[in-house]
Amino acid sequence: MQDTKEIEFDAVADKGEIVEYAISEHIEYAGVHSGDATMMFPAQNIYFSTIRQIKKIARQIAGELNISGPFNIQFLAKNHSVKVIECNLRASRSFPFVSKVLKRNFIETATRIMLEAPYTRADKSEFDIDRIGVKASQFSFARLQNADPVLGVDMSSTGEVGCLGDSISEALLNAMIATGYSIPEKNILLSSGPVKAKVALLEPARELTRAGYNVFATSGTAKFLKENGVKVTVVAQPDDKGEAGSNAENVLKMIADHEIDLVVNIPKNNTKRELTNGYHVRRAAIDHNIPLITNDRLAKAFINAFTELKLSDIKIKSWQEFTS
């Protein structure tokens, strides 16, 4: 299944009846390990019918397994089709995250149920919230010499951060900044890989130029952007033998000289040249401590966020202020 959303259902049940639950959505499509994915709660971009299907399936699973305690179900959703990846009869890493956002301690409820102690049921109004939470992953590729910083089905993150905001853009910027990213000041490099990623990043590239950023791109991406009316400066690939033009500056030199504030590099295919060039660009960004994104959906969300909000627009608020 390609280009499919991944949705998490965290819940606590008592003798097969769901007592409280939370539905979260990954920004990245399925294929990125849930421990590495960027998660939004409440889910922002799924159909109401999808939510109804997810709740119905979760009730059936909880009842069939007669669950008393915490559990997590991972779903795939595309169009109006929903499939179950797995159901784990345990707390997940997103339990503390959704508990903080909802201000409902899922683990306390689960523990009381397992001990057959009294507990309070959540009022339905408690699940109707305006605040948005984003959980972003922390990576340590800089400490792993020669590692290729590309996300996949194996978990690579070494930590995570959960942040709140009044909007998805604010919450995402808070989370990205907390994990070590910075809002770019001037120059952004796009190397968008496959055609789908090029199309996905076309409107964000337009947003960048409208916001006054200088967009640099490798030859294939630059050609696509120029054909679609985006002002872009072409840069030479690490092994470029003049294809990009005699005046094109080598991308590795620009990264080494810290002329780039953000690198977006989406892996294209497994040809030797693509693997070599892409790896050298990604590794150079990591080694020179320049923010790197290798997923087109996360890149699009991040670009949309920092072109919509300035750093000064982000409110400094405590957790209590969000949840009061």
Lateral strand order in the sheet of 17-26: 81-88, 69-78, 5-14, 17-26, 39-41, 132-138, 159-165
Provide the CB-side half-sphere exposure for 67 (13 A, CA). 27
% of the chain exceeding 90 in pLDDT: 71
The answer to which of 108-117, 212-221, 243-252 has the lowest mean pLDDT is 243-252
Tell me the per-residue pLDDT of 242-261, one tens digit each, with 9 for 90 and over: 555 556 789 999 999 999 99
Predicted local distance difference test score (pLDDT) of residue 36: 87
**Whether residue 38 has pLDDT greater than 70:** yes
Angle, vertex CA 299, rays to CA 297 and CA 304, nearest 5: 95
pLDDT the model gives residue 129: 85
Least trusted range by pLDDT, from 26-35, 122-131, 201-210: 122-131
Q: b or e along 145-162 (b: 16 or more beta carbons within 10 Å of the residue's beta carbon)? A: eebbbbbeeeebbeebbb
Mean pLDDT of the chain: 90
108-112, 121-125, 200-204: range with lowest mean pLDDT: 121-125
- Residue range 12-18: mean pLDDT, rounded: 97
> Which residues, at least 6 apart from 275, have a Cβ–Cβ distance to it below 8 Å?
none
Q: Give tens-digit pLDDT for 136-152.
A: 998 888 788 888 888 87
Report the C-alpha gap between 281 and 298 in whole angstroms: 18
The pLDDT of residue 130? 85
Q: Strands of 233-235's sheet, edge to edge?
A: 233-235, 214-218, 187-191, 262-265, 292-293
